[in-house]
């Protein structure tokens, strides 16, 4: 392995290729960096900030930071892990995330990353926002209470489905997912259950209808192995297992 094409991640040499980000190279090597908004199928976004790492005392998003030779990357210091816990705690209280009552429990990235970082209970006051559930579409429902604004559905609908069904509106705490249709309802949009956007949500916000708890949505990946071992690819495959629509 040439030192010209490696950087150090927690003391381990990681090989990279031209154009790789730190996240790209780490995942390819089997080294896990916690993240929520990253998906290797889409351009990096850097919105969740969970994948932040330290390079020479400077914090950067590993999903957007280009890899370069000689970097010393800290991915596991206690200060960094605590910062990730704080971010996750805020995500949990900003929405209504009740894991035992969610169909995605066991296959939810938010839940899995929280376990991985040791975030077992929120430390902030719950917002208990009043957000609607859109069940207007014949095949798919959206529970806006669970949306973490990762924009994966936005990117999938725009870049893969070429429909622009979803977008983010508002600023700060008022930011929210919107459906681009005359009524603002999913059932009045061009969305289809076969769209890529129907299968990329890392939490339980976009779910197939007519199944509920009677038939598992995918499989409980993270009950068998931690997210650091399972990875994103398996998570996305799980969403399709048993899904009559597929991608």
What residue ranges do the domains of the chain occupy? 3-76, 81-213
Kindly indicate the confidence band of residue 101, based on its pLDDT and cuts at 50, 70 and 90.
confident
Q: What local confidence, expressed as pLDDT, does residue 220 receive?
A: 75
Kindly indicate the confidence band of residue 240, based on its pLDDT and cuts at 50, 70 and 90.
very low
Q: What percent of the chain has pLDDT over 70?
A: 88
Kindly indicate the confidence band of residue 7, based on its pLDDT and cuts at 50, 70 and 90.
very high
Kindly indicate the confidence band of residue 58, based on its pLDDT and cuts at 50, 70 and 90.
very high
What's the whole-number mean pLDDT along residues 84-94?
93
More confident residue, 204 or 121: 204
Q: What local confidence, expressed as pLDDT, does residue 157 receive?
A: 97
Q: What local confidence, expressed as pLDDT, does residue 245 receive?
A: 32
Kindly indicate the confidence band of residue 216, based on its pLDDT and cuts at 50, 70 and 90.
low
Q: What local confidence, expressed as pLDDT, does residue 215 receive?
A: 58
What is the overall mean pLDDT for the chain? 88
CATH class in words for 81-213: alpha beta
pTM to 2 decimal places? 0.86
Q: What local confidence, expressed as pLDDT, does residue 54 receive?
A: 97
Full 3-state SS string of the chain = CCHHHEEEECCEEEECCCCCEHHHHHHHHCCCCCCCCCCCCCCCCCCCCCCEEEECCEEEECCCCECCCCCEEECCCHHHHHHHHHHHHHHHHHCCCCHHHCCCCCCCHHHHHHHHHCCCCCCCCCCCCCCCEECCCCCEEEEHHHCCCCCHHHHHHHHCCCCCCEEEECCHHHCEEEECCCCCCHHHCCCCCCCHHHHCCCCCCEEECCCCCCCCCCCCHHHHCCHHHHHHHHHHHHHHCCCCCCC
Kindly indicate the confidence band of residue 242, based on its pLDDT and cuts at 50, 70 and 90.
very low
What's the whole-number mean pLDDT along residues 163-186?
94
What's the whole-number mean pLDDT along residues 62-76?
96
Query: What fold characterizes domain 3-76?
Result: Ubiquitin-like (UB roll) (3.10.20)
Q: What local confidence, expressed as pLDDT, does residue 96 receive?
A: 85
């Amino acid at each position: 392995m040439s030192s010209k094409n490696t950087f150090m991640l927690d003391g381990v040499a990681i090989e990279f290729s031209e154009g790789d980000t730190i996240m790209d190279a780490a995942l390819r090597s089997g080294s896990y960096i916690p993240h929520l908004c990253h998906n290797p199928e889409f351009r990096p976004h850097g919105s969740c900030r969970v994948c932040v790492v330290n390079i020479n005392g400077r914090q950067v998003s590993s999903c957007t930071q280009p890899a370069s030779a000689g970097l010393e990357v800290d991915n596991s210091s206690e200060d960094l892990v605590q910062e990730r816990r704080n971010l996750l705690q805020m995500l949990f209280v900003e929405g209504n995330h009740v894991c035992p009552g969610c169909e995605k429990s066991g296959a939810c990235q938010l839940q899995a990353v929280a376990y991985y970082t040791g975030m077992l209970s929120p430390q902030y006051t719950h917002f208990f926002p009043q957000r609607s559930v859109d069940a207007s579409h014949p095949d798919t429902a959206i529970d806006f209470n669970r949306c973490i604004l990762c924009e994966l559905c936005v990117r999938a609908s725009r870049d893969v489905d070429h429909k622009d069904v979803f977008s983010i509106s508002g600023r700060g705490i008022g930011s929210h997912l919107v459906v681009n249709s005359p009524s603002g309802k999913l059932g009045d949009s061009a969305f289809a259950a076969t769209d890529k956007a129907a299968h990329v949500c890392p939490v339980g916000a976009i779910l197939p209808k007519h199944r509920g708890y009677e038939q598992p949505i995918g499989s409980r990946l993270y009950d068998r192995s931690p997210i650091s071992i399972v990875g994103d690819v398996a998570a996305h495959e799980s969403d399709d297992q048993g899904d009559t629509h597929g991608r």
